[in-house]
A and B are shown apart, each in its own frame.
Chain A
Amino acid sequence: MTAAARAVTVGIVLGLAVVAPSARGQDVVAARAAFAAGQYDAAIRTLRGSESGDAVRLLVRVLAEVGRYDDAIDAARHYEGRAPGSPDVANVLGEVLLATGDLNGAEGAFDRAASDGASDSLDARYNLAALYLMTGRVDRARPGFDEFIDVYNRGGRLSSEELTAVASAVWDLSVLDWRLAEDALRAYDEAIAADPNNLEAQVRVGNLFLDKYQGTEALETFEAILAKNSRHPGALLGLAHQRRFAGSPEAMGLVDRALETNPGLVSALVLRGILFVELEQLDRAEEDVSRALAVNPNALDALTLRAGVRFLRGEGAGFEDARQRVFAINPRHAGFYTALAELSVRNRLYEEAVEFAGQAVRLDSLSWSGLQLLGINQLRTGAMDEGRANLERAFAGNPYDAWTKNTLDLLDTLQTYDVSRSQRFTFAIDGKESEVLAPYFAEIAEEAYDRMATRYGYRPEPPVRVEVFPDHQDFSVRTVGLAGLGALGVSFGPVVAMDSPSAREIGEFHWAATLWHEIAHTFHLGLTEHRVPRWFTEGLAVYEERRARSGWGDRVSPGFLRAFLEERLHTVSELNNGFLRPSFPEQLIYSYYQASLVCDLIAQDHGADVLTAILRGYRDGEATGEIFERVLGMDLAAFDARFEQYVRTRFARPLEALESAGRAAGGAAHSAADLRRLAGERPDDFVVQLALGQALVAEGRFELAIDPLRNAKALFPQYAGHGSPYALLAQAYRETGAPEQAAVELRALTALNAGDYRALLELAELEDQLGNRQAAADALDRAMYVYPMELEPHRRLAELAEEAGNWEIAVRERHAVLALDPVNRADALYHLARASLGAGRLDEARRYVLWSLEIAPSFEAAQDLLLEIHDARANR
């Protein structure tokens, strides 16, 4: 700019300042207040027709915030038409042009504002540098950002807007030095202190917290903004990100609210598209991508999502087209590959995630998120050393990444675990537990592998790695990088991670069924090349649990049937939503069971092999509807109808018994007398009959409790969950001196629900008392698959096995006793030696008895055993 031009510009600015009446200044103040409060229409009304640069700048910002981009551009152009050469609104015009994809126009506008001395030139300089970065001109962007450090350090008085620009520039530079993020936060704080109504600065603070995994601070920041302006699209969008990060289903609603304020907010449309991808609803995701690109055809995030959707659909050419468009805009856009890696993870495509993240890192060695994704997904695919190395690099670049830090901490823990191997599996188990758990885990895992390999005609490449975490938070970190995951296990395909039985309350979950379930996922993921939708693999995994052993897997409950009656369950075509976005707390659990019933129905109507055919359809890229039509010969609507009929038939009696239950039935508010009356009036009401039985048991009136409990059982014989008629009847029979009948009830209960640890122990005790030693041993054996960490059940099972001459079981159980750190170690070693001798393992027997006598040399029985073993070895 020449000196003359500068003078002209100053003159125009001064002139405008002179002609603008003071009332207009007051209007701008009022409009600014309305804008900050989310009263966008009022702000626009106030500013319409204003002629001052300040007012028009604000007007453009308000119009842009509600998505009226064309109006915003018109307002800016109109102003520039009246004040040719004025840079006053160039920066905001540039922002709108950028938001609508006119990159060249935006660059020119920013350049003008930055060069021609506009009052917001500092902001323009930031926008220009950011645009350079966005378009891959890193060499121009970084010096631009660098200047802001000088600007700040010069110590001159900066406006709130200018401090925001400084903070944003410093944040961008923090990729080079993570410590700068702290400076960025400080500058944002100063910006907000200078103008508490600078909501844009506050949104950026929230996003900075999100970037640094400080979800709580981000939440508080966004909520504080929304307290001032409940319609603020940036805050709503930020909060949506935060909720998604926390796994909350609220994210979608928040995005919708952001889009109500600004239907053309590209970043919100992209986030909603991502949420649809996560729900495996690719059509809806693509619709949002198209909307976003209609607003801004050069939006990198929208083009990236388009590429992602096409990748997930297997549309190679379409993917390549989108990819080329992205790289035509920014040849160094590592974010393209990190986004694809994330989408791949969401769709359980871990190998692909490794590939994409690797490309991101190759494109930009400072892509810390790329390194993080690379490392995490290498760990998921079993490449432990490479994964750790990349995570350490990621951590060096961005130590704020909680996922990276947590995972590195976890790897430190994992290094201390014992590693054992079976034919097709590797087990990493905490050293305190591995001796007890490893034999059981190996037995179940190998059996599962053999049975499923036969069924599916597919063999996952060994070894499959199984990690078992005694601390649930470690499992959670392994799975999602952060604490707080509610699941019990996860399969990444070649790697399975799960809670140890000791990670939960005693008997809280059936570890063996969980392991079986996760191994089923490993088969499904491998067979379909990770293309199986969540609902189907979950349903099929539960179905596999039920096929594994009687009583394994999810079971029907009154709650599920009530949800069915009240039409709160998804149709099969929408079942994925029940897993990915449950609309009420129990829906996730019900969805597992419902999906397994779908598999039951398919197997019943079409044969179990059809389930494998469906998996192959997914592998070949077919959608559920296409597969069902081809394989089952019916469309999804017809299948939905068939499923409804199936449930009504299969559970006809309990559905009737629940349908007739009045709302007043049961509950603590009723006395036994009330319940007796109600039970008399409603003999077919499951809830009333059970509630009466429960009340009478609680009162110790066991004889009287038996009839209503038997009624309840007859009405809903499939129910064996908590507080079932079986459990209460067993109690009543025991209390009334009828152990045989109590055993009958417990046998029935545990046949339906093999996860009831206490019932299994109780049954074992009863069978023992009744002289049914084999049945007692069976019950104890089943109990080990729920909770193998208690010493006494192992000891008793060992004794029963020894009595029956079942020496292999005896050896396993004596090993378990020893591993559970008995007080009397010499005794435990002696018994292990004796069992080993029984099993013909003379060398092991010798070793164990020597260890026993080393502790207790005068242990007579062990001395005799040593002599016996010595003779046996001499004579072999």
Chain B
Amino acid sequence: MNRRMLVLGLAAALIFPAAGAAQTYLLVVGGIGGEPTYRERFQVWCSALVSAARDQLGIADDRIVYLAEDPERDPRIDDRSTKANIEAAFADLAQRAEPSGRLVVVLVGHGSTTGNVPRFNLPGPDMQAEDFAAQLSQFATQEIVVVNLASASGDWVGALSGERRVIVTATRSAAERHETVFGGYFVAALTSEDADTDKDGRISLLEAFEYARREVARVYQRQNRLLTEHALLDDDGDGSGAHEPDPATGDGARARTWFLTEADVTAAQPETDDSVLATLYGDRARLEGALAELRARKDSMDAAAYEAELERLLLELARTNRSIREREARIPG
């Protein structure tokens, strides 16, 4: 599948939004860079994220708040990333977000720890993880994602973990103080075809996390360096993140169904007035369900029997999908 088809996939999802589609609010915070290299790096990551959110993930401009160290560097930057401005942005978003809305907070910058207190370094006073926790408490009903791409960010999992929350950090502890590369890969993953590992045309948070985690490992291996950043993902609210999340056993289940696209990703079946198409959609859903059930039984089945049944269902699914495409192509509009 090429990139054009991936975008089409996203577009298709947007064409058929389900009734319960939730609106996504994005707060991007670029911290203080210090050295020119890091200023440049943080700026590139933040800008890429904002561009992807607006242009490819379908998040409207007015629901994106972008704060950074130097507002002169990009006209899309709303304000300087001071503690006061961040708090103001949270307050504004809390006012605007619908009860079923979704909040995504991404922090790009340096992290540190002083006296066991994890911090995110800002122009002026830093913000602590606890400060962010207090801000997030304004979003009592919304789904929340916090992605802290800073060094020494591991302890943020414990501070921010909770129900309806996905927390991603670039490191597993405060001890991992070296600059990270995870952020670059995570941002890239949000729009990368390679990250779409289940080939459904959308990239879940889990897919983005996995993509970035593995690319980080690859780059360290390639450079023959010890891995000094182990990203974590926590989405079961237990305050403990996983470096290799497994949706079947713990972290990862929520992130797997969390997409940054505006469409309601949980919609099982598009709506249509065409009865043939409706039947085909129904068949597809049935086959997908049967496949999921078959895969769940894999370990208890004879290998040959499993493979034969897998092939039978997949062939049927492939034929059904082909029929759906042909039928959709015939329906105007």
Which residues of A are interface residues toward B (Cβ below 8 A)? 505-506, 790-791, 821-827, 846, 850, 853-864, 866-867, 870
CB neighbours of B196 from chain A (8 A): 824
Q: Provide the bound-state CA to CA distance between A821 and B325, in Å.
A: 32
* CB proximity to A under 8 Å, residues B286-314: 288, 291, 295, 307, 310-311, 314
CB neighbours of B210 from chain A (8 A): 823
Please report the total number of B residues contacting A with Cβ < 8 Å.
32
Contact in complex: B307, A858 (CB < 8 Å): no
Residue on B nearest A867 in the bound complex, by CB: B318
Q: Provide the bound-state CA to CA distance between A824 and B322, in Å.
A: 23
The segment out of B90-98, B211-219, B234-242, B266-274 that lies at the interface is B211-219
Interface membership of B199, Cβ < 8 A: yes
Of A827, A859, A864, most buried by chain B (CB within 10 Å of CB) is: A859
Contact in complex: A853, B321 (CB < 8 Å): no
20 additional contacts, CB 8 Å, given A824-B194, A853-B310?
Answer: A790-B222, A791-B218, A825-B197, A827-B1, A846-B311, A850-B310, A850-B314, A856-B197, A856-B198, A857-B198, A857-B288, A857-B291, A857-B317, A858-B321, A859-B199, A860-B1, A860-B321, A864-B322, A866-B318, A867-B318
Residue on A nearest B197 in the bound complex, by CB: A824
Q: Provide the bound-state CA to CA distance between A668 and B288, in Å.
A: 68
With contacts A823-B215, A867-B315 taken as known, whether A861 is within 8 angstroms of B322 at the C-beta atoms is no
Residue on B nearest A846 in the bound complex, by CB: B311
Q: Give B5-49 as 1s and 0s: 1 = Cβ < 8 Å from A's Cβ atoms.
A: 100000000000000000000000000000000000000000000
Question: Of the candidates A823, A827, A858, A863, which one forms a contact with B200 in the assembled complex, judged by CB atoms under 8 Å apart?
Answer: A858
Q: How far is the CB of A486 from chain B (nearest CB, A)?
A: 18
CB neighbours of A870 from chain B (8 A): 315
Contact in complex: A823, B199 (CB < 8 Å): no
Contact in complex: A863, B314 (CB < 8 Å): yes
Contact in complex: A858, B198 (CB < 8 Å): yes
CB neighbours of B73 from chain A (8 A): none
* CB proximity to A under 8 Å, residues B178-230: 193-201, 210-211, 214-215, 218, 222, 224
Contact in complex: A826, B197 (CB < 8 Å): yes
Interface membership of B3, Cβ < 8 A: no
Contact in complex: B310, A854 (CB < 8 Å): yes
Interface membership of B319, Cβ < 8 A: yes
CB neighbours of B201 from chain A (8 A): 858
Q: Provide the bound-state CA to CA distance between A850 and B318, in Å.
A: 11
Contact in complex: B315, A866 (CB < 8 Å): yes
CB neighbours of B311 from chain A (8 A): 846, 850, 866
Contact in complex: A823, B288 (CB < 8 Å): no
With contacts A823-B194, A825-B197 taken as known, whether A853 is within 8 angstroms of B314 at the C-beta atoms is yes
Q: How far is the CB of B325 from chain A (nearest CB, A)?
A: 8
9 nearest CB pairs, A to B:
A859-B199, A863-B318, A856-B199, A856-B198, A823-B211, A824-B194, A853-B314, A858-B200, A823-B214
Q: How far is the CB of A598 from chain B (nearest CB, A)?
A: 36
With contacts A821-B214, A823-B215 taken as known, whether A855 is within 8 angstroms of B318 at the C-beta atoms is no
Q: Provide the bound-state CA to CA distance between A846 and B308, in Å.
A: 11
Question: Of the candidates B195, B291, B307, B318, which one forms a contact with A823 in the assembled complex, judged by CB atoms under 8 Å apart?
Answer: B195
CB neighbours of B314 from chain A (8 A): 850, 853-854, 857, 863, 866
Question: Of the candidates A506, A826, A864, which one forms a contact with B198 in the assembled complex, judged by CB atoms under 8 Å apart?
Answer: A826
Question: Of the candidates B193, B214, B317, which one forms a contact with A863 in the assembled complex, judged by CB atoms under 8 Å apart?
Answer: B317
Contact in complex: A856, B200 (CB < 8 Å): yes
CB neighbours of A867 from chain B (8 A): 315, 318-319, 322
Residue on B nearest A863 in the bound complex, by CB: B318
CB neighbours of A862 from chain B (8 A): 199
Contact in complex: B198, A855 (CB < 8 Å): yes
Q: How far is the CB of B244 from chain A (nearest CB, A)?
A: 13
12 A–B contacts from the bound complex (CB under 8 Å):
A823-B194, A823-B214, A824-B196, A854-B295, A857-B198, A857-B314, A858-B198, A858-B288, A859-B200, A864-B322, A866-B318, A870-B315
CB neighbours of A791 from chain B (8 A): 218
Q: Provide the bound-state CA to CA distance between A497 and B149, in Å.
A: 43
Q: Provide the bound-state CA to CA distance between A853 and B288, in Å.
A: 11
Residue on B nearest A791 in the bound complex, by CB: B218
Residue on A nearest B212 in the bound complex, by CB: A823
Contact in complex: B197, A855 (CB < 8 Å): yes
Q: How far is the CB of A819 from chain B (nearest CB, A)?
A: 13
Q: Provide the bound-state CA to CA distance between A859 and B193, in Å.
A: 12
Q: How far is the CB of A305 from chain B (nearest CB, A)?
A: 45
CB neighbours of A853 from chain B (8 A): 310, 314
CB neighbours of A856 from chain B (8 A): 197-200
CB neighbours of B211 from chain A (8 A): 823
CB neighbours of A827 from chain B (8 A): 1, 194, 197, 199
Q: How far is the CB of A818 from chain B (nearest CB, A)?
A: 13
With contacts A505-B224, A790-B222, A791-B218 taken as known, whether A850 is within 8 angstroms of B200 at the C-beta atoms is no
CB neighbours of B197 from chain A (8 A): 823-827, 855-856
* CB proximity to A under 8 Å, residues B246-275: none
Residue on A nearest B213 in the bound complex, by CB: A823
Q: Provide the bound-state CA to CA distance between A506 and B222, in Å.
A: 7
Residue on A nearest B294 in the bound complex, by CB: A854
Contact in complex: A861, B1 (CB < 8 Å): yes
Residue on A nearest B223 in the bound complex, by CB: A506
CB neighbours of B222 from chain A (8 A): 506, 790
Q: How far is the CB of B151 from chain A (nearest CB, A)?
A: 23
Q: Provide the bound-state CA to CA distance between A822 and B210, in Å.
A: 11
CB neighbours of A824 from chain B (8 A): 193-197
Q: How far is the CB of A460 from chain B (nearest CB, A)?
A: 35
Q: How far is the CB of B212 from chain A (nearest CB, A)?
A: 9
CB neighbours of A861 from chain B (8 A): 1, 199
CB neighbours of B1 from chain A (8 A): 827, 859-861
